[in-house]
Structure 1
């Protein structure tokens, strides 16, 4: 299978998986609120979910490098995700719903370092920025269709979460079938990278993670610590009566469409100018609360779309940079440690925005702006270069 074809098929897997879990995430805030959750609980649970999705990669990343079982970990992680979502709409008690939200994110932690390493091998031949960007754009097709499907079923069922999330079992089963097929067709994706010429200045494998990787992780952690979760954004929209719960998935779908465009644009620029393109990320993150936590529908919607653009860069170009900074034998470990650092920042960001939202929105906006200014300084000081 040619490298681009492998990237596209792995993108189809991600598309269908995003159909499942982004469909669920689009209503996490209102669903938890319907079970009695406060803004702080929503912020902590969604932040903890992101922390689990990222922090547990400290284990799954080194495990993938040590065992080289990239396909097995990918399949196991996807299985946990697609099995956690359908019951979310019928459990009926807050603690169980919170556990399922976090379990879905744990599935992402299990699979992501291994899956990103598989993808990084193929993108060595296609161009890292473009390869990761195309994969992320395909992700967002699923992230667009999933929330729209949930919104449609919610509307038809009178707001019942059970049918809306139960329908997501179908694409989940297809995900698992495609993964087994891909593993049979491409058992050793690392062969793509072995055949590709090494870029000038590429790091040599010496058993350690490069210093540039750690400074880059510090920048990413800082900007993530000041980034609101969509759970808190959607909580604001529904609780302030700016939007009904059935319309929240539609807005989320629109944000995912913006995500795809931002990923493609930043990936294209990354292959031309390198990591300097990442300077736009703190600017977007600072704009999110200033727009989204207003009492004007148009501004709140604009803030949610800016949130989508920032997520597009986070999910594509940030990952591409890691692949260029770290050689193949330690890359899954690097993805794991990178995610672990950012996971702590995600938990802090979810709790921070949830707590400050309930206390003072102007203070929330000020604190986030200060964090993003610090992130810009770190990016300028550390200046991660192309490996």
Structure 2
């Protein structure tokens, strides 16, 4: 039925209702505002998750596991949501549903009175990220086709992280005024604004795939017809493995903030401020690494490895000056991971399977982070020397795993 498929695709493309009223840059900037508002919500919450769980009786290992499990859910569940986005092409419904889950779960943390309730809400918030991110990143990758994907993802990440800076500051202020309950509850306001903003963006840009003039498009599916899938390149699998090894030694902020709380390195109300500093550093690092990636490719990602290796020497001390420096270093590494690493996936994976590619990539990433953060939490409780050795060793292993990626990349869509 190829002729019928082509006719249906042409009809869909000619539908005036699917015309985008925003250009690619406008789409990226507006989506950045949506993510900024959402980040005020969930990054504000993440900035105090460790200390909040500690008030409910959690240990360092439990905080490492709960926060790591949350990140794993946010990332591993994309094994399902990524292919679902590719199969259904329902990018906007998945994106909106994911944002809704997140902005509902976080304010309810104000009502949590037990460790299991708080943990469930942490996981629910992260599941919302799993639902929306493959679909959202696929749409952003289309908008970045002509302007440079490193640039597109960097701009989006910088706006995203500006919300991650404002959220912890807002939460810190509320904690200073009244405690954790007000800190979580006030986040319902930017959450509602994020939902309104994403609905308006959908109306302004109903079909972001149109931005990518060179996109590889599959025919419109016909029920009962067998679809031939483009295989994922071998380079993608190696790139995913490299990323997983590097994330294996990257602590969650939950463990770091737990350390700051139990060691009384600083007042509780200042802990979200350190997270805000991290998010500011992440925004700047995203812009710099995105520009570097567009110029020199994957080699620009290597700067994340020494930054990660330096974290335990700074963030797990009891010297405030070093802790603040550690916040900058940890945030810069995170900014590279959450922006430029995503851009690289879009350049490696064929356009028709990007949702699947993002799902698999982040599953590797999430499982490694879950395992690594749990180990780091255990090592923190047992031996600081072991924590340092573990972190440095993983980054050296990641450097070795990167070597095959130095070979020139084959044309996108090739299986090798």
Q: TM-score, normalised by structure 2?
A: 0.89
* Closer/same/farther in 2, CA of residues 2 and 195 from structure 1, 3 Å limit: farther
| Alignment-derived partner of residue 235 in structure 2 | 212
CA contact (8 A) 2:86 2:355 kept: yes
| Alignment-derived partner of residue 6 in structure 2 | none
CA distance in structure 2 between the aligned counterparts of 1:140 and 1:378, rounded to whole angstroms:
29
Q: CA deviation at 1:295?
A: 2.2
Deviations 1:38-58 (A, max 9, x none): 001100000000000000000
Q: CA deviation at 1:182?
A: 1.4
* Closer/same/farther in 2, CA of residues 346 and 300 from structure 1, 3 Å limit: same
| Alignment-derived partner of residue 200 in structure 2 | 181
Q: CA deviation at 1:194?
A: 2.2
Match status 1:228 vs 2:251: yes
Counterparts in 2 of 1:62-77, with a 5 A limit?
62-77=83-98
Deviations 1:227-276 (A, max 9, x none): 00100001111111111111001111011000011000000111111110
Which ranges of structure 2 fall in alignment gaps of 5 or more residues?
1-21, 217-227
Which of 195, 200, 209 pairs up with 1:190? Answer: 209
Which consecutive aligned stretches of 4+ in structure 1 deviate over 4 angstroms post-superposition? Answer: 384-387
Q: CA deviation at 1:196?
A: 7.6
| Alignment-derived partner of residue 168 in structure 1 | 187
Which of 306, 324, 330 pairs up with 2:347? Answer: 324
CA distance in structure 1 between the aligned counterparts of 2:323 and 2:371, rounded to whole angstroms:
23
Counterparts in 2 of 1:1-387, with a 5 A limit?
1-157=22-178, 160-194=179-213, 207-383=230-406, 387=412
CA distance in structure 2 between the aligned counterparts of 1:380 and 1:111, rounded to whole angstroms:
32
CA contact (8 A) 1:118 1:189 kept: yes
CA distance in structure 2 between the aligned counterparts of 1:195 and 1:209, rounded to whole angstroms:
19
CA contact (8 A) 1:275 1:385 kept: no
Q: CA deviation at 1:384?
A: 6.8
CA contact (8 A) 2:245 2:397 kept: yes
Deviates more, 1:3-12 or 1:289-298: 289-298
User: Secondary structure, in 3 states, of the residue corresponding to 2:269?
Assistant: coil
Deviates more, 1:286-295 or 1:209-218: 286-295
Q: CA deviation at 1:92?
A: 1.1
CA distance in structure 2 between the aligned counterparts of 1:28 and 1:378, rounded to whole angstroms:
33
CA distance in structure 2 between the aligned counterparts of 1:91 and 1:182, rounded to whole angstroms:
33
Deviations 1:309-341 (A, max 9, x none): 000000110000000001211000000000111
CA distance in structure 2 between the aligned counterparts of 1:254 and 1:341, rounded to whole angstroms:
28
Aligned residues: 379
Q: CA deviation at 1:161?
A: 1.1
CA distance in structure 1 between the aligned counterparts of 2:183 and 2:260, rounded to whole angstroms:
20
| Alignment-derived partner of residue 17 in structure 2 | none
User: Secondary structure, in 3 states, of the residue corresponding to 1:247?
Assistant: helix
Q: CA deviation at 1:381?
A: 2.7
Q: CA deviation at 1:301?
A: 2.0
* Closer/same/farther in 2, CA of residues 116 and 60 from structure 1, 3 Å limit: same
User: Secondary structure, in 3 states, of the residue corresponding to 2:265?
Assistant: coil
* Closer/same/farther in 2, CA of residues 232 and 209 from structure 1, 3 Å limit: same
| Alignment-derived partner of residue 202 in structure 1 | none
CA distance in structure 2 between the aligned counterparts of 1:207 and 1:384, rounded to whole angstroms:
22
CA RMSD after TM alignment: 1.5
CA contact (8 A) 2:307 2:329 kept: yes
CA contact (8 A) 1:275 1:384 kept: no
